[in-house]
Chain A
Amino acid sequence: MNPYESHPARILEVKDLTPREKLFTLRFLDEKLNEEFTFRPGQFVIVDVPGFGEFPISLCSSPTRSPIQLCIRKAGRMTKFIHGMKEGSVVGIRGPYGNGFPMEDMEGSNLILVAGGLGMAPLRSVLWYALDTGKYEHVWLFYGTKAYEEVLFRDEVLHLLKHGSAMNCTVKLAYEIESPSCIYLEQGFSDRVCRGVVTDLFRGENFDVENSYALICGPPIMYRFVIRELLNRKLSPGRIYMTLERRMRCGVGKCGHCVVGTSVSMKYICKDGPVFTYWDALSTRGLI
């Protein structure tokens, strides 16, 4: 078995999410692989465009549903290239890689999902998984975004904002740039939509910290503030999970680009992560 070998997959659908992000729905050409392919929310795959290169991307669909979906932001040469690809094209997929969120360990507990910007993509996988399996007490989604136009999976988020309570799910949205759509939303859901940053959404919420887990994904700057908020509420560092980004080239702990830490503990983000607890961050320098 060659771990660097990718499997051809057809792009079934390309959907514009925002001007920068597109949602790709993919299906392997090998039917057997479609049946066997499973993953944990939080894991990632490496997308291969033969002749152009590879890049890592989080799975944003849930293992409870198929086919797989990837939310790709146009951020560089490779992602720009794939944004130009149409339905029916074939790309390579290898993985899944990484540890993912420990969904089984968290069963029966509350989940506090905190997403910032593109961080919504891997957390959507958790959200769907939690709602589909129904194995979790209550699910909060705190989603901080720049503007209404940048809300990823807008239809799904708005649907849950309106009807989430029936599924034991509370969705809250914070935005930075005001727009008529945001003001309209804020008027309709004054307790759940506000102008501000993602930590503002914690206001008025009381969590049973003994029975809750926080799962965070967002830009590096967000972690510090969100973690401070969670620690103030006495959530244990072992119950705060976050998914991190580094340059993952091989995905299997060989190429060395994603190594972090010091002489005492070194970790490969691709193999030991990308999901870490806040305790891992406290004991490994350079993790966040």
Chain B
Amino acid sequence: MRYVKLPSGNFEDFFNSLKGIGQIYGPVKEGKTHHFRRVEEAGQMDLKYTRTMLPPKKFFVRPRERLFSLEDGWWRKEGDGKPFVLFGVHSCDVHALKILDRVYLSEPVDPYYARRRKSAFIVGISCLPDELCFCKSLGTHFAMDGFDLFLHELPDGWLVRIGSVRGHEVVWENARLFDEVSDEDIANFKAFEERRAEAFKRELRSEGLADTLDLAYNSPVWKEYAEKCLACGNCNLVCPTCRCYEVCDRWVDAYRAVRERRYDSCFMESHGLVAGGHNFRPTRLDRFRHRYYCKSYFDPSAGFNCVGCGRCDEFCPAGIEHVKVLDEIRGSLE
């Protein structure tokens, strides 16, 4: 990794220099929540945010996206690929994008996702956890790759980790804005990371979690929570790793149709429905359990399908807490 320092006074110039790449999107506070929005000035962003409502996945797997449009009886391909900058992405969300990459960039590559991923310049930013964050338990609280630049807050600026050739080029082109890292900066970086590591209040016991859950398939705890759950699918929408989509053909007018895909949720009854009316996950219990199994799927080469961002807890109208459910499931076995 290569490290440089961005002094506080140069931050705005650095931000403006990124405009050369493309449109910049960053965390903006609206009401009580944060959202990734189009920003023109650095001051519009609130970089001390904990989490946005929709994760950065919305830039790559669009909530609604046109795949094809029907012209003269046959399909014409759609898709955009304008370069853009995603500013202020937390490490859990960087990890989430890596999980999406494993799905969408594996063979056969999803061309829509791949094009956007290539067009994105990602600037990560350090954060402090709140009471819902449990990324540390999943090892996603620190990103080693998956970004172009990553900014760590220092008392008088930012320690910048350079994660890609493109990141390096941006620093190179704007060399006048950056300093070399001093011993004091290193000490400050270390102190910040230590303070941050201690700030986590929530912990997910991930040892043997996958097997434990599998063994608890018939646990009464599932039923208890399935009754509490409203099956609204909020958790799916705000989850940075949920990626199910539904495809539908829509007629724009009498002559033109489009094929679109949009977010789908495994809490919807239609998710497991096949032709002829047979449903492979007919009850809310089946669907509730399925989501937890999906999020806690353990890939030996990559870890869990959950990054511990806490969004599903914050935006659950029934107040269901992910870690608490898993702890209770584990407890029901003991």
A residues near B (Cβ < 8 Å) are 1-6, 8, 50-55, 73, 75-76, 78-79, 90, 92, 220, 245-247, 249-250, 252-257, 259-264, 266, 285-286
The 23 sampled A-B contact pairs (Cβ below 8 Å) are A3-B109, A4-B68, A5-B77, A50-B249, A51-B251, A52-B249, A53-B248, A75-B276, A76-B275, A79-B275, A246-B272, A246-B274, A254-B110, A254-B245, A255-B244, A255-B245, A257-B271, A261-B293, A262-B217, A262-B293, A263-B213, A263-B296, A264-B213
Best-buried of A1, A4, A54 by chain B (most CB within 10 Å): A4
Question: Which residue in chain A gives the minimum CB-CB distance to B209?
Answer: A263
Query: Which residues of chain B are within 8 angstroms of A257 by Cβ–Cβ distance?
Result: 244, 246, 264, 271-272
- Could you list 13 further interchain pairs (A-B, Cβ under 8 angstroms) beyond the known A254-B245, A263-B213? A1-B111, A50-B74, A51-B257, A78-B275, A245-B274, A247-B273, A254-B104, A262-B213, A262-B214, A263-B211, A263-B298, A266-B297, A285-B217
CB distance from B285 to the nearest CB of A (A): 13
* Binary A-proximity of B240-254 (CB < 8 A = 1, otherwise 0): 000111111101000
Closest 6 CB pairs of A and B: A256-B244, A263-B210, A3-B108, A75-B275, A51-B257, A75-B276
Number of interface residues of B (CB under 8 A): 47
B266 at the interface (CB under 8 A from A): yes
Q: How far is the CA of A51 from the CA of B251 in the complex (A)?
A: 7
Q: How far is the CA of A105 from the CA of B111 in the complex (A)?
A: 34
B75 engages A5 (CB within 8 Å): yes
A263 engages B293 (CB within 8 Å): yes
Assess A50 versus B257: contact at CB under 8 Å? Given A3-B110, A252-B108: yes
Q: How far is the CA of A4 from the CA of B260 in the complex (A)?
A: 11
Q: How far is the CA of A13 from the CA of B220 in the complex (A)?
A: 54
A266 engages B77 (CB within 8 Å): no
Question: Which residue in chain A gives the minimum CB-CB distance to B279?
Answer: A247
Assess A2 versus B77: contact at CB under 8 Å? Given A247-B272, A253-B103, A266-B293: yes
Q: How many A-B residue pairs have CB under 8 A?
A: 114
Question: Which residue in chain B gives the minimum CB-CB distance to A259?
Answer: B294
CB distance from A1 to the nearest CB of B (A): 7
Query: Which residues of chain B are within 8 angstroms of A266 by Cβ–Cβ distance?
Result: 293-294, 297
CB distance from B151 to the nearest CB of A (A): 32
B73 engages A50 (CB within 8 Å): yes
B301 at the interface (CB under 8 A from A): no
Assess A249 versus B214: contact at CB under 8 Å? Given A6-B75, A73-B276: no
Chain A interface helix/strand/loop/mixed = loop
Query: Which residues of chain A are within 8 angstroms of B293 by Cβ–Cβ distance?
Result: 261-263, 266
Q: How far is the CA of A51 from the CA of B275 in the complex (A)?
A: 19
Question: Which residue in chain B gives the minimum CB-CB distance to A50?
Answer: B70
Query: Which residues of chain A are within 8 angstroms of B274 by Cβ–Cβ distance?
Result: 245-247
Q: How far is the CA of A43 from the CA of B210 in the complex (A)?
A: 31
Assess A249 versus B247: contact at CB under 8 Å? Given A75-B275, A256-B264, A259-B294: yes
Question: Which residue in chain A gives the minimum CB-CB distance to B251?
Answer: A51
Q: How far is the CA of A255 from the CA of B248 in the complex (A)?
A: 13
Query: Which residues of chain A are within 8 angstroms of B77 by Cβ–Cβ distance?
Result: 2, 5
B54 at the interface (CB under 8 A from A): no
Query: Which residues of chain A are within 8 angstroms of B111 by Cβ–Cβ distance?
Result: 1-3
Q: How far is the CA of A50 from the CA of B71 in the complex (A)?
A: 10
Q: How far is the CA of A197 from the CA of B104 in the complex (A)?
A: 44
Best-buried of B248, B266, B275 by chain A (most CB within 10 Å): B275
Query: Which residues of chain A are within 8 angstroms of B257 by Cβ–Cβ distance?
Result: 50-51
Assess A247 versus B271: contact at CB under 8 Å? Given A51-B251, A264-B211: yes
Name B70's contact: one of A51, A90, A264, A285 (CB within 8 Å): A51
CB distance from A280 to the nearest CB of B (A): 15
* Binary A-proximity of B157-180 (CB < 8 A = 1, otherwise 0): 000000000000000000000000
B142 at the interface (CB under 8 A from A): no
B67 at the interface (CB under 8 A from A): yes
B278 at the interface (CB under 8 A from A): yes
CB distance from B259 to the nearest CB of A (A): 8
Assess A246 versus B280: contact at CB under 8 Å? Given A2-B77, A79-B275, A263-B214: yes
Query: Which residues of chain B are within 8 angstroms of A249 by Cβ–Cβ distance?
Result: 245-247
Q: How far is the CA of A75 from the CA of B275 in the complex (A)?
A: 6
